[in-house]
Amino acid sequence: MRVALNARILQAPRTGIGQYVAALSEALGSLGDIELDYFHGWGWGADLPQAALPGYSRWSALAKQVPGAYRIRRWLEQGRFERGLRRRRVDLYHEPSLWPLDFDGPMVMTLHDLTHVRYPETQPRDRLAEIERRVGEGVGRASRILTDSHFVADEIRAHFGLPEQRVVVAPLGYAPRFHPRSAEALRDTLAPFGLAAGGYLLCVGTLEPRKNLELALRAYLRLPAVLRARFPLLIAGMPGWRSEQLNATLGPALASGQVRLLGYQSDQVLAELLAGARLLLFPSRYEGFGLPVLEAMASGVPVVLARTSSLPEVAGEAGCFVAPDDDEAMAEAMLRLLEDDEEWGRRRSLGLRRAEAFSWSACARITADTYRQAMGD
């Protein structure tokens, strides 16, 4: 089966959906009966781009200034997509994000979450309008909708009024780079940050209101001063829409030196930062899956997280859950895992065991079966 996969998301620095496209592509390729053709937005190729394209930042700036920029871009991409299709014999089109292109044949679409429905304020107005238009069209045309969790599958069926069989759950996996590491193995990566393994807390994710980083900050500031001095809080991720809302809480915390913004980090550096953390804090209000939670568990790092959306599906009994507005409860959970080595070790073991239930190979097998179902339709 020859599948056209829209890999345009990899023009940007690689975050959640980009990781999905890259990891799923590799796993599908190992199945042997799936041949992938990648559309990169400006052309086609046999390989995935390994880094963000140079023009991405220029496009991002342009999109903020030019009215209708998203429609113009889609029109250009649709033309390049169709010209490439004329030179290929593609059986099926897989759209892994929110911007499906027109395709005269079977289509599978991955809808990772309904953030644009649940939290429309996290998107610029013109981008939100285009997302709503394209997602609605895509769901209407797709033979099957893939999603990452049962929580989101139920949301999709209810919101769009879809029958159960059209929405397929394919849980995500974690890359081999996420595994427990010794302090010695992490020394060279952590030293430039002035860190030692087990000596810091970590938040991972785009800086935006939905990620609820204020909860982690308020909880962290509740910790005794001696613990904050011993365990700085690191935040790794790119600024997102309305990230300036964090400034009121972040400003004093950053000035103290106990909270540090690391910005976007490469895949390998992030994996090593995660493996060296004492805890991952994941206070997000809404997630389609919550990949950093799985990656932390696979790395042997306990997770304190909000009991919301899909997160209980991923963390199971390994997660240390709190309500998404309860900074006192989060501080208590952090305090216990910082001071009680026995409880920390228990959560670590539970997380490692829980992570074994997820793999990209399993995700790829479900995805390939979904392709066959769509072809049968």
Q: Which of 140-154, 223-237, 244-258, 353-367 has the lowest mean pLDDT?
A: 244-258
Q: pTM here? A: 0.91
265-287 pLDDT tens trace: 889 999 999 999 999 999 999 99
- Strand, coil or helix: 105: coil
Confidence of residue 60 (pLDDT cuts 50, 70, 90): low
Pairing of strands 201-204, 233-236: parallel
Q: What's residue 29's pLDDT?
A: 92
Instruction: Categorize the per-residue pLDDT at 31 as very low, low, confident or very high, splitting at 50, 70 and 90.
Output: very high
Region 233-256 average pLDDT: 68
CATH architecture of 2-173+359-376: 3-Layer(aba) Sandwich (3.40)
The predicted model gives 326-338 an average pLDDT of 98
Domain ranges of the chain: 2-173+359-376, 183-355
CA 108 to each of CA 146, 199, 251, 352: distance values in angstroms, whole numbers, following the listed order? 7, 44, 44, 32
Give residue 110's pLDDT: 98
C-alpha to C-alpha distances, 338 to 193, 221, 259, 357, 368, nearest whole angstrom:
21, 14, 17, 27, 43
Q: Phi/psi at 31 (nearest 5 deg)?
A: -75, -30
Least confident of 29-38, 345-354, 359-368: 29-38
* Cβ atoms 145, 166 nearer than 8 A: yes
Distance, CA of 238 to chain centre: 12
Predicted confidence (pLDDT) at residue 213 exceeds the cutoff of 80: yes
Q: What is the pLDDT of residue 313?
A: 97
113-172 per-position pLDDT tens digit: 999 999 887 777 877 888 898 999 999 999 999 999 999 999 999 999 999 999 999 999
The rounded mean pLDDT for the chain is 90
CATH of the domain spanning 183-355, picked from 3.40.50.2000, 3.40.50.880, 3.40.50.300, 2.170.120.12? 3.40.50.2000
Cα 173–chain centre separation: 11
Residue 177, classed as helix, strand or coil, is coil
> Which sign does the torsion angle of CA 246, 249, 255, 259 carry?
negative
